[in-house]
């Protein structure tokens, strides 16, 4: 379990850092000029050209599994891509800080608790079930505290010219909260998609000799291919609507493409470590692993914010809030780890009881 948590931390370091290279793109660059190539690299190029060299027989595994099985990770991948797009819509309604806080909170609830309900609904009322639910609640509280810190930071950094992020009111606020929450649910579909990949991984291991961690690349590829339909489709829409296709041939596009590729490698690196790390946490790893992964990603993202000067000039109060948020998130991760350990002991006791019963008979 310790190794699995370490891999999730590595994944969070990649996931919490993949956006950093975008700081080297000129501010007047259209959104789709950077993120269009990024989503193409992430969801189409890398899984199609690189993943088959890691997981032997990737395409053959998909064919062997059949559409009735692969449809689930593909469909949930499509929803994940849709969530990435609707998150951008929530930014326009309520700003970055509040949108991220609501989105991450919804992801932790949906990816963590939703996965546990799908996998082990009969164990919700057990001691480890309550512990896992408590851990998710603590992580959610940490997200709220971090969101509050981000809002205080923006207020304290106001220069007086109205450039700081403000929180809207009325119908715009309600719409923004709803969209941000729904985007979090949709983004969490990536973690849920992994719950439906066991049969695919079994085929990859049993028929094509892949190890378990390599077989996770087959499921990841299916999820990303599903996400490419919604994510890349939205970027095509933005290019057409804004008439910015020409930016892909202008001077400086080479640098943008390199940055997009670096971001894509970090993003897919996060996927790699998440998939392998969750598999090390036992049969509910995909459930609690997502909540832990997201909590680590929030921590890493805020640490990167400090290192890149985003908190320069922020009030002491906002810094105290973000430190408190990080502490609460770490506490939540610890509670989730404890719940996972208790679940392992519970499963072990059931197995021993079954063996004893068999011996008596």
pLDDT computed for residue 278 by the predictor: 78
- Provide the token pair at 21: 């290279």
- Asked if 85 and 235 count as a contact pair (C-beta separation under 8 A), the reply is no
- Give the separation between CA 138 and CA 168, rounded to whole angstroms: 27
User: What is the per-residue pLDDT for 33?
Assistant: 93
Task: Say if CB 17 and CB 300 are below 8 A apart.
Answer: yes
pLDDT at residue 43, rounded to an integer = 92
What pLDDT, on a 0 to 100 scale, did the predictor assign at position 95? 64
Phi-psi region of 309 (alpha: psi -120 to 50; beta: other; left: phi over 0): left
- Per DSSP, helices labelled H in 196-315 are 198-208, 212-242, 253-279, 285-307
CB 340 within 8 A of CB 132: yes
Token representation of residue 28:
């007047």
- Length of the chain (residues): 361
pLDDT for 136 equals: 86
pLDDT given at position 197: 85
d(C-alpha 110, C-alpha 106), whole Å: 6
pLDDT tens, residue order, the chain (361 aa): 788 888 888 888 887 778 778 878 888 889 899 989 999 999 999 999 999 999 999 999 999 999 999 999 999 999 998 988 787 677 667 666 667 778 878 888 887 777 777 777 888 888 888 988 898 889 888 888 888 887 787 777 665 444 455 555 567 777 877 888 888 889 888 888 888 888 999 999 999 999 888 888 899 999 999 999 999 999 999 999 999 999 999 888 999 999 999 999 998 888 788 877 877 777 666 667 778 888 888 788 778 777 777 777 788 888 898 889 889 988 988 888 888 788 878 878 878 777 777 777 6
Claim: this prediction has a pTM higher than 0.75: yes
Per the CB < 8 A criterion, the answer to whether 167 and 99 are in contact is no
Going by C-beta distance under 8 Å and a sequence separation of 6 or more, which residues neighbour residue 106? Answer: 180, 181, 182, 183, 184, 185, 187, 188
CA distance 31 to 339: 41
């Amino acid at each position: 379990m310790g190794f699995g948590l370490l891999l999730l931390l590595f994944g969070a370091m990649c996931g919490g850092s993949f956006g950093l290279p975008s700081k080297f793109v000129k501010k007047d660059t259209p959104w789709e000029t950077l993120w269009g190539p990024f989503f193409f690299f992430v969801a189409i190029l890398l899984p199609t050209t690189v993943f088959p060299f890691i997981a032997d027989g990737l395409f053959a595994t998909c064919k062997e599994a059949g559409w009735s099985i692969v449809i689930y990770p593909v469909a949930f991948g499509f929803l994940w891509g849709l969530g990435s797009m609707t998150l951008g819509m929530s930014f326009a309604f309520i700003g970055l800080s509040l949108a991220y806080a609501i989105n991450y909170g919804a992801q932790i609830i949906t990816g963590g608790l939703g996965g546990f309900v799908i996998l082990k609904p009969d164990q919700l009322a057990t001691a480890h079930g309550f512990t896992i639910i408590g851990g998710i609640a603590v992580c959610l509280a940490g997200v709220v505290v971090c969101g509050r810190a981000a809002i205080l930071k923006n207020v304290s950094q106001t220069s007086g010219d109205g450039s700081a992020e403000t929180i809207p009111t009325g119908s715009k606020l309600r719409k923004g909260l709803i969209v941000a929450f729904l985007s979090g649910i949709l983004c969490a579909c990536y973690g849920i998609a992994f719950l439906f990949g066991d049969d695919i991984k079994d085929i990859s291991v049993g028929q094509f000799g892949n190890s378990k961690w390599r077989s996770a690349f087959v499921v990841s590829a299916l999820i990303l291919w599903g996400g490419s339909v919604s994510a890349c489709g939205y970027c095509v829409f933005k290019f057409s609507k804004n008439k910015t296709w020409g930016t892909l041939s202008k001077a400086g596009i080479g640098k943008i493409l390199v940055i997009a590729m670096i971001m894509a490698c970090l993003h897919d690196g996060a996927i790699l470590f998440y998939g392998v790390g969750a598999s090390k946490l036992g049969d509910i790893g995909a459930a609690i692993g997502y909540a832990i992964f997201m909590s680590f990603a929030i921590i890493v993202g805020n640490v990167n914010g400090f290192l890149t000067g985003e908190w320069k000039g922020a009030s002491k109060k906002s810094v105290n809030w973000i430190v408190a948020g990080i502490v609460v998130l770490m506490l939540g991760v610890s509670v989730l780890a404890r719940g996972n350990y208790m679940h392992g002991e519970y499963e072990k006791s059931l197995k021993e009881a079954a063996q004893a019963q068999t011996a008596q008979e």
